[in-house]
């Protein structure tokens, strides 16, 4: 009987990527593990520089974004390797407006990205990162 592969999913309570992540009130950081393969999906948004200003964009015409990276060990955690991004064609990865529903939409965007990454990991479409001993 063939054993079913399972991707371990860990939700982490801190922001994962972006230079201004500490000033974003919205963040998701999900570590996905399959054997020695570790991938992080990160969503950030609702950037308020100085915390007392209006929400500003975090990039060209976007207030929220989701990105995916290989992970590298940074004692004591697996963290994003910003030099090793994993791209996904056809997935929604940014939101260019603010509304009452934007946080919910960002959660849905993150979940869709995580689901797609898990599927690609299980299908062997995402290889282990290079230079694993960095």
pLDDT in tens, 45-57: 888 887 677 888 8
Phi/psi-derived region of residue 61, left when phi > 0, alpha when psi is between -120 and 50, beta in every other case: left
4-51: pLDDT as tens digits: 789 999 999 877 776 666 777 889 999 999 999 999 999 998 888 876
50-76: pLDDT as tens digits: 767 788 888 899 999 999 999 999 999
21 inside domain? yes
Whole-number Å distance between alpha carbons of 28 and 42: 6
CB of 33 closer than 8 Å to CB of 8: yes
Give me the domain span that covers residue 74: 8-122
134 inside domain? no
Whole-number Å distance between alpha carbons of 11 and 107: 13
How many structural domains is the chain composed of?
Answer: 1
The pTM for the full model equals 0.87
Task: Read off the pLDDT of each residue in 94-101 and give the average, rounded to a whole number.
Answer: 92
Largest CA distance in the chain: 59
């Amino acid at each position: 009987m063939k054993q079913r592969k399972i991707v371990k999913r860990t939700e982490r309570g801190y922001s994962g990527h972006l230079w201004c992540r500490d000033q974003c009130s919205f963040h998701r950081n999900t570590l996905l593990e399959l054997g020695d393969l570790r991938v992080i999906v990160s969503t950030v948004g609702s950037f308020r520089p100085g915390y007392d200003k209006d929400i500003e964009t975090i990039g060209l015409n976007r207030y929220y974004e989701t990105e995916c990276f290989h992970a590298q060990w940074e004692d004591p955690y697996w963290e994003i390797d910003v030099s090793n991004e994993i791209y996904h064609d056809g997935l929604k990865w940014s939101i260019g407006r603010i509304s009452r529903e934007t946080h919910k939409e960002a959660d849905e965007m993150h979940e869709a990205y995580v689901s797609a990454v898990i599927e690609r990991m299980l299908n062997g479409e995402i290889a282990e990162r290079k230079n694993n001993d960095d």
